[in-house]
Amino acid sequence: MQKLLTICIPTYNRAKFLRRLLEQIEQESSGLHAQMEVAVSDNASDDDSQKVLAEFASRLPLRTGRNPANLRYDANVLAAVMLAKGRFAWLMGDDDLFIPGRLREVFELLKTAPEDLGGFFTNYYRGPSQLGLDLRAEGLRLYSKTEHDADFFKATYGANFIGCVILDSALCQDLISKHTRLDGIRVMKTNLQTEEVVFKDFVQAYLTLECVMRSARFGIYSKPCVAFGGDGSYATQEQALRSAQKTAMYMRHFRTFYPSLFNYRACPFSSANLGGLARYLVLFDPAMPAEHQALFYQAAAELMAEYKANGDWWWLAYRLAIGLHRHVFFLPPLMHFAYVTAVHARGRKTYMEREREKQAAGLRESQL
């Protein structure tokens, strides 16, 4: 008999976090093993991940796979989903954790799930007390394809967090095997007139939105069930901008490929995302080494290009203004403008000088 639930965990070089998560699942799933399983796809880790999996093979109904080489995040998520044998696949980050008691609650909900349910979203915690999604509905609410509200868009948009989606395994596996192609580390959506890369680094959102489109009903469970396990911090300003760039690209792909699901007014893209950009630009460290400056401004330029591609300049200006007001309110607006302009000019000059040096070096090498 088919099991009800598979917890799908893509992992890479996080043996300590993987052990913590599997220990929690062991505690939270006591008495449920006959109807659930755990599937872990190891992305060619070179730490103790395989030892951890061997240790839990006798403690959990565990199904594992190991990629011959590191295929990067997106392909590893797909590999984890393809391991699933349960009716539903709950995608889970290897460094995240379940809220105590919620795994069992969701399991009971799945027992009574209608046959045409493509899956549902759960709320989550970004921090100790910060909810990921501000939802108005309480408990579990089911939606049809045409019945959308602000909560539904917030949830579909929030699918960029891996732990908040529980999907129909058969739908996902059909999509992966028939309508998706891997080109190296890129996931290509093939059921279009031309192939397109979809949701780089957010492939779980691709699976989720396809399940929404292919099923009669989809649900939202307002209770938070998962919490971020990592600290969510960035080592450099460049990394923060790269993350913001990926989020902007995610929004563009959402609107391009799934326009019927996109609700612009309900967009939960908070001022912290774009305000962060303003903060990094205005509070830019002038002592940053030249090579870091070049990377920083290249990332900033690519991020701004993503927003330009969206055609959302007024919205962008509004969000940047909020960010400036919240984070550097002690500087008058004219100083904001002057400082940002000066820093941009300096950064652009540094970047262009480095590019000219590279071109000159390449020309000298070609003449040798």
Quote the Cα angle for 289-295-298, to 5°: 135
> What is the Cα–Cα distance from 261 to 252, expressed in whole angstroms?
13
Phi and psi at residue 125, to the nearest 5°: -105, 130
Do 344 and 261 lie in one domain? The reply is yes
Same domain, 257 and 176: no
Domain boundary among 232, 257, 276: 232
**What pLDDT score does 158 carry?**
75
Token readout for 281 is: 């630009």
**Are residues 80 and 186 part of one domain?**
yes
Which of 232, 267, 284 is the endpoint of a domain?
232
Q: How far is CA 317 from the centre of its chain?
A: 25
The residues pairing with 125 across neighbouring beta strands, listed in sequence order, are 131, 227
Interatomic CA distance for residues 101 and 124, integer angstroms: 14
Cross-strand partners of 141? 220
Domain that holds residue 43: 5-232
Q: Across the beta sheet with 180-183, what order do the strands follow?
A: 180-183, 186-189, 196-197
Q: How far apart are alpha carbons 9 and 357 in whole angstroms? A: 45
Domain boundary, last residue among 232, 251, 281: 232
User: What does each of the 368 residues of the chain score in pLDDT, given as a tens digit?
Assistant: 899 999 999 999 999 999 999 999 999 999 999 999 999 999 999 999 999 999 999 999 999 999 999 999 999 999 999 999 999 999 999 999 999 999 999 999 999 999 999 999 999 987 777 788 778 778 888 988 777 777 887 788 777 789 999 999 999 999 999 888 877 767 777 765 556 667 778 889 889 988 988 999 999 998 999 998 764 554 455 566 566 667 667 776 777 788 777 665 555 444 344 444 444 444 444 555 555 555 555 555 555 555 555 555 544 554 455 444 444 444 444 444 444 445 455 544 554 565 566 666 655 555 54
Distance between CA atoms of residues 196 and 188, nearest Å: 5
Q: Are residues 306 and 202 in the same domain?
A: no
Of 81, 96, 128, 100, which is closest to residue 28 (Cα–Cα)? 100
Are residues 159 and 297 both part of a single domain?
no
> What stretches of the chain show up as alpha helix (H) in DSSP?
15-28, 49-56, 72-82, 102-111, 150-157, 169-179, 203-214, 237-257, 271-282, 290-310, 313-327, 333-367
Q: What is the reported pLDDT for 268?
A: 44
Q: What amino acid is encoded at 277 in this protein? A: L
Q: Are 240 and 283 in contact (CB under 8 A)?
A: no
Q: Which two tokens stand for residue 351?
A: 């970047």
Task: Supply the pLDDT for residue 337.
Answer: 47
> What 8-state DSSP symbol labels residue 131?
B
User: Domain check: are 197 and 220 in the same one?
Assistant: yes
Do both 204 and 140 map to the same domain? Answer: yes
- Do 182 and 96 lie in one domain? The reply is yes
CA gap 103, 98 in Å, rounded: 7
Total number of domains in the chain: 2
Same domain, 69 and 158: yes
CATH of the domain at 29: 3.90.550.10
214 & 308 share domain: no
Return the structure tokens found at 25. Answer: 């699942």
Are 259 and 168 found together in one domain? no
pLDDT, tens digit, 9 for 90 and up, residues 74-83: 999 999 999 9
3-state SS assignment for residue 223: strand
Same domain, 216 and 328: no
CA distance 133 to 148: 16
Q: What is the pLDDT of residue 340?
A: 47
DSSP annotation of 158 reads G
pTM to 2 decimal places: 0.74
pLDDT in tens, 86-139: 999 999 999 999 999 999 999 999 999 999 999 999 999 877 777 887 787 788
Digit-coded pLDDT (tens) for 33-73: 999 999 999 999 999 999 999 999 999 999 999 999 999 99
